[in-house]
Amino acid sequence: MDLISIDDLSDAQVEWILDRAVRLHQGRHQVGGLKGRIVFNLFYEASTRTLMSFATAAHRLGATAITLPVEQSSVRKGETLDDTARTLDAMRPDAVVIRHRENGSASSAAAIMACPVINAGDGTNEHPTQALLDAATMRQRVGRIDGLKIAICGDIKHSRVARSNAKLLPRLGAEVRLAGPPELMPESGACLSVDEAIAGADIVMMLRVQRERLDQEFGDAPGEYLRLYGLTDERLARAAPGALVMHPGPMNRGVEIDSAIADDAARSLINLQVAMGVATRMACLEMLLA
Ligand code: ASP
């Protein structure tokens, strides 16, 4: 089985992963079940959280994670993704984690490789383990997802995190509201303003402006994006009492989120998201390699 999209998972598999992730995070677990297994990390795009948490997850399970330094690999000599996938497949890894700038890349690699392939972000398409770790974070902190009002705000158009969450969270009973600058919304999307989306929300998830995917610079004057669309105290005051704040990282501080809100331990789940990322990826590796 591969994990390319949230759609690849049944409701029972989603439940198993979330439940297991919370148990692993809380230390009620047995690890080491993947001793002797090998996980390849193949990251064509920059990453800190996803790359390091997959490697940490593999090690905690007793497996060995090997990361291809893509910039120093034959990719620099022009090798195609398909040929790299064929080459790595011949080494018989037990799983491959792939991030690539093109939509559909993880699925093409999976068609070539015999082992399970995990999509760690393909272009603007999907990032399923991010959505799973976001859901696991809510489970861990709030105890439930059913009935939560969740505002996802920012550069929706380029966000694979938003796409995967928009598929997963409603399946778990949440109401998801997507909002952002009109230029950064998908053409088909219903256009809520950020203020409307945040009103009464239990969770406010802010997204990074994905400058690397923009044709031209967005939000010229310093402070303008924060004032118009970012998470400020004033805007957060519209949310439900006790509302919690999330961000998949990396953050543009002072752009999509006020720095003090990001660092406010009482309201910000950003560090918990990182911790749950390790636990969730452990659960995913266990499920796929069992
Ligand atoms: N780290 C997330 C991703 O790779 C979010 C982001 O980059 O803004 O999609």
- Ligand 1 pocket mutation, candidates 52, 53, 124, 130, criterion most atoms within 8 A of CB: 130
pLDDT over 90 (residue 187): no
Is residue 158 lining ligand 1, measured as CB closer than 6 Å?
Answer: no
User: What pLDDT does residue 220 have?
Assistant: 60
Mean pLDDT for 52-57 is 97
Are 247 and 151 spatial neighbours (Cβ–Cβ below 8 Å)?
A: no
Q: Identify the H or E element spanning 177.
A: strand 175-179
The DSSP result for 271-290, as a single string, is HHHHHHHHHHHHHHHHHHH-
Question: Could you identify the atom of ligand 1 that is nearest to the CA of residue 207?
Answer: 8
Residue 208 CB less than 6 A away from ligand 1: yes
Which atom number of ligand 1 is nearest to the Cα of residue 208? 8
219 pLDDT band (50/70/90 cuts)? low
- Residue 36 Cα to ligand 1 midpoint, Å, equals 30
* Order of all β-strands in the sheet with 38-43: 64-68, 38-43, 95-100, 117-122
Kindly state the percentage of the chain with pLDDT values over 70.
97
Ligand 1 atom closest to residue 159's alpha carbon, by position in its atom list: 9
Q: Strand 149-153 to strand 203-206: parallel, antiparallel, or no bridges (unpaired)?
A: parallel
Residue with CA nearest ligand 1 atom 4 = 121
Ligand 1 mean position to 45 CA, how many Å?
10
Residue 212: what pLDDT?
Answer: 84
Nearest ligand 1 atom, CA 130:
2
Average pLDDT over residues 157-183: 96
Architecture of domain 128-273: 3-Layer(aba) Sandwich (3.40)
- The full set of domain ranges for the chain reads 6-126+276-289, 128-273
Measured at the CA of 170, the angle between CA 165 and CA 174, to 5 degrees, comes to: 100
pLDDT for residue 53: 97
CA of 209 to the centre of ligand 1 (A): 10
For residues 29-43, give the mean pLDDT.
Answer: 91
Q: Determine the CATH number of domain 6-126+276-289.
A: 3.40.50.1370
Q: pTM of the entire structure?
A: 0.96
CA distances (Å), 231 to each of 6, 130, 133, 175, 228, in order?
Answer: 27, 21, 22, 20, 9
Does the pLDDT at position 28 exceed 80? no
Q: What is the pLDDT of residues 109-147, one digit of tens each?
A: 999 999 999 999 999 999 999 999 999 999 999 999 999
The angle, 0 to 180 degrees and rounded to 10, between the axes of the packed helices 49-60 and 270-289 is 50
pLDDT band at 203; cut points 50, 70, 90 = very high
Q: Report the pLDDT value the prediction gives residue 223, as an integer from 0 to 100.
A: 87
Preceding peptide of 250 cis, ω within 30°: yes
Please work out whether the CB of residue 93 comes within 6 Å of at least one atom of ligand 1.
no
pLDDT confidence of residue 214? 80
Domains 6-126+276-289 and 128-273 share a fold: yes
How far, in Å, from the CA of 102 to the mean position of ligand 1? 14
